[in-house]
Amino acid sequence: MSSSVIEVKKGDRVRLATRPEWGHGEVLSVISTIVDNEPTRKVRIRFARAGVREVIDSPSLTHDEDGPVNMDPAALNERMTTLPQPLRDPLRSNADRFRETGAMFRFNGRGGSLIDWAATQTGLVDPLSALPRHEIEDAFARFRRSLEEHLWSLGRQMKQENEAEFRRIALQMPDDAQSVLRGRNARR
């Protein structure tokens, strides 16, 4: 197992960084196994918003150290409209930030996707218990504008640094992200 993988045991509270919309989870079991001739662990987790899932242990599995969510509507609104730290972290490479920014376009602001986004941003299992749907929709619209601007800005930097890598990463993004990049490039 990689040294960057955290040690987890039954009962630990965890999150899966690649699927934050699943919310916090409780480790149900940890089974040592071999995958592709490498020792690893299969971790069975009950997630607040996704039910029981089995995941291969990875660096994206982290301890859930978030404290109670501030239920003040203004604080929740601020939390929802702020771009997540990994997208803004200046110590991360532009390529990593560009890739993760594009991945945020998996949320489209409709139906379950809107609620998944709100849960990701706030840490609440049921965002509708704290905020009315129209406020969540309004916050998503503001978030999406910021996300589009951020993607375009990072894309421009990436294209200047390494156009081949820019194209490779952009082609792996959801269609909405690619449309933003194409639309901005056509206007400039």
Does pTM surpass 0.95?
no
Q: Which of 14-18, 61-65, 137-141 has the lowest mean pLDDT?
A: 61-65
Instruction: Summarize pLDDT for 110-126 with one digit per residue, the tens.
Output: 999 999 999 888 888 88
> Alpha-carbon distance 101 to 20, whole Å?
14
- Angle subtended at Cα 175 by Cα 102 and Cα 49, rounded to the nearest 5 degrees: 65
Question: Quick check: 114 and 107 in contact, CB under 8 A?
Answer: yes
What would the mean pLDDT of 36-45 be, rounded to a whole number?
Answer: 86
